[in-house]
Chains A and B, each alone.
Chain A
């Protein structure tokens, strides 16, 4: 089927395209300004401190990275699993995945204490550090995606698509595993120290990637692209339900199971019944899972496109909330320094629950990175023929 498809560049003739570009550029500039201000004044202008060391920018950076990994599914479903209705969007999803990863890395790098030392991060590797491996995985992901796109775009190399697709599929799984490992093996933090975070991050990437694909495809549909066929819509709706339920199951198991581990039990309270519980139950479980499932199953909207878009928006926001609870919530639990003893006095607040609220600079940087991802994707789509021409 792929050989019969003809591709075109994005040729929007609508004001909305210019408005989206303008909005993304403005947000990207806001992100650059926020990063520059943080660089000059230091992280003192953020809500982060020595208790909550990774805040909102990390939530967005990780979200964009796992979304990139999940978005690539659009292409691998076609190449590896031979789902023919995903073939028209395969090229586009590869570019979208690259753009999302770049956006995530932009946030991650600009949130460093010394972003000017990026070259050190690229040249000094500690191979005992999973972070180092992730730097290699991220760079490799972009390279694999470029190769994948090349074999898809060049007819002579079409016979390599399945092989390269399989490599891309494995790479994206390893990448998400690596991202999960960043948090999953921190012995000093009980809330992070769980191997369950690895499958949880993989499930998170599947949901977020699918939702992001659905949202951007709906946006492109408004211009001159025809991406969402009936078959594709049906498949995406089904997958969204499956992925969402898997993620819900894993997250509930992650939090509930630890309640049975005596030394962990009191630490799980901030997520289940503590300061982040409303975010978890209302933001994630209710809005991020129950709502999309209701929309997809009960069908309150007339068209499948509407149902997919509405449920994707809710599920994506729900996943962001879950990531916030996982990353920030885990840092809010006091460390168990002295089992069997109670800390009475500590100037550093060893016994108290730290309160974190992100500042405007962190929102600016996070929004800026997300805008860079969308902007980059739209620019590449404008230049390269990656969108399928309408079938006549």
Chain B
């Protein structure tokens, strides 16, 4: 038998419910930041992308020392292809050519030289200018890319590129890498290994790594905007040239001893 005093009143029940809810809210509030930070940490771990936005503080580029580039060596091409899942179909004219080796002879002196040719990541890129949908674009840090979602495959950029550095994909593609999406009917070119550049750990483009692994070290990657960077110092010291400098495209890829 309940006495009148042992039976909780209506107001007591309401207070208990309120305190219970307050307790739950407190626990959740305390746990939320912990849970979010765990989730963020997991996210960071999975992508490995730098958290700061792409900015014009940097201008990424390459310096290629042709005196160190060996004729017959195509380690940079193989490195690039392996990194981006590019395989040959046997037809060089329709295959993607993100990077290719060219051997040259000077008409006057007869001097032989060898160099890799890829997208020159021009500051005033003709491919960006001509693209009707804006799929070809230049990032703030100077890397020229193609938005695979808005490229309609008109090939005007392939026609406009003075370096023949853009490739139209003529056939269905299999075995793609998740960081290098590619597709039949669209255009692609060297991305300066943007996924590596954007990675948290400072990484070099695959071609530069492959060249170093072959003990040639002909390809140097770095920030052209940083006056103290190795690439800027090397450009200042050496005779760095732009290919077709007469076009005034201000390329991000420069060549020594060309």
Contact = CB atoms under 8 A, between A and B. Distances in A.
Given A114-B185, A335-B162, A341-B106, A128 B153 contact: no
A346 B102 contact: yes
A113 B93 contact: no
Top 8 nearest A-B pairs by Cβ distance? A113-B153, A113-B185, A188-B162, A131-B132, A345-B103, A49-B93, A126-B134, A44-B170
Given A113-B185, A337-B117, A50 B130 contact: no
A112 B185 contact: yes
Contact of B102 (A131, A188, A343): A343
Nearest to B113: A341
A53 interface: yes
A354 B92 CA distance: 12
Interface residues of B, number: 57
B44 to A, nearest CB: 32
Given A50-B93, A348-B164, A117 B150 contact: yes
A138 to B, nearest CB: 12
B126 A130 contact: no
B102 A350 contact: yes
Contacts of B187: 113
B155 to A, nearest CB: 4
Given A50-B164, A53-B159, A343-B103, A124 B150 contact: yes
B232 interface: no
A121 interface: yes
Given A115-B152, A126-B131, 9 more contacts: A39-B185, A42-B171, A44-B94, A113-B168, A114-B151, A120-B152, A186-B126, A341-B107, A347-B92
22 contacts: A42-B184, A44-B94, A50-B95, A50-B166, A50-B168, A53-B158, A54-B155, A112-B152, A112-B153, A113-B151, A113-B152, A113-B154, A114-B153, A117-B151, A121-B133, A126-B132, A132-B133, A187-B126, A188-B162, A337-B163, A338-B104, A345-B102
Contacts of B256: none
A354 B162 contact: no
Interface string A106-134: 00000011110110110011101111100
Main secondary structure, interface of A, reads loop
A43 interface: yes
A343 B107 CA distance: 10
A365 B60 CA distance: 43
A112 B154 contact: yes
Contacts of A44: 94, 170-171
Contact of B185 (A43, A338, A349): A43
Given A120-B152, A188-B126, A347-B92, A341 B132 contact: no
Given A49-B94, A113-B186, A340-B108, A42 B102 contact: no
A331 B146 CA distance: 23
Contact of A348 (B100, B129, B184): B100
Contacts of A80: none
Contacts of B112: 344
A113 B170 CA distance: 8
A166 interface: no
Contacts of B156: 129, 131, 182
A382 interface: no
Contacts of B167: 50
B132 A135 contact: yes
A179 B126 CA distance: 18
A189 to B, nearest CB: 7
B64 to A, nearest CB: 13
A303 interface: no
A53 B93 CA distance: 11
A76 B103 CA distance: 57
Contacts of B93: 49-51, 348-349, 354
A128 B187 CA distance: 19
B41 interface: no
Given A187-B247, A347-B92, A342 B162 contact: no
Interface in A329-387: 331, 335-350, 354
B106 A335 contact: no
A192 B161 CA distance: 13
Contacts of A43: 94, 168, 170, 185
A348 B152 CA distance: 24
Nearest to A121: B152
Contact of A50 (B133, B158, B184): B158
Nearest to B187: A113
Interface string A38-70: 010111100011110110000000000000000
Contacts of A192: 159
Interface string A253-297: 000000000000000000000000000000000000000000000
A166 B184 CA distance: 44
B105 to A, nearest CB: 5
B132 A121 contact: yes
Nearest to B104: A341
Contacts of B194: none
Contacts of B133: 120-121, 124-126, 132
B256 to A, nearest CB: 14
Interface in A120-159: 120-121, 124-126, 128-132, 135
Nearest to A44: B170
A83 B215 CA distance: 78
B152 A114 contact: yes
Interface string B74-108: 00000000000000000111110100111111111
A328 B107 CA distance: 29
Contact of A130 (B91, B130, B170, B243): B130
B49 interface: no
Interface in A188-202: 188-189, 192
Q: Which of B106, B128, B130, B169: most chain A CB closer than 10 A?
A: B130
A186 B157 CA distance: 10
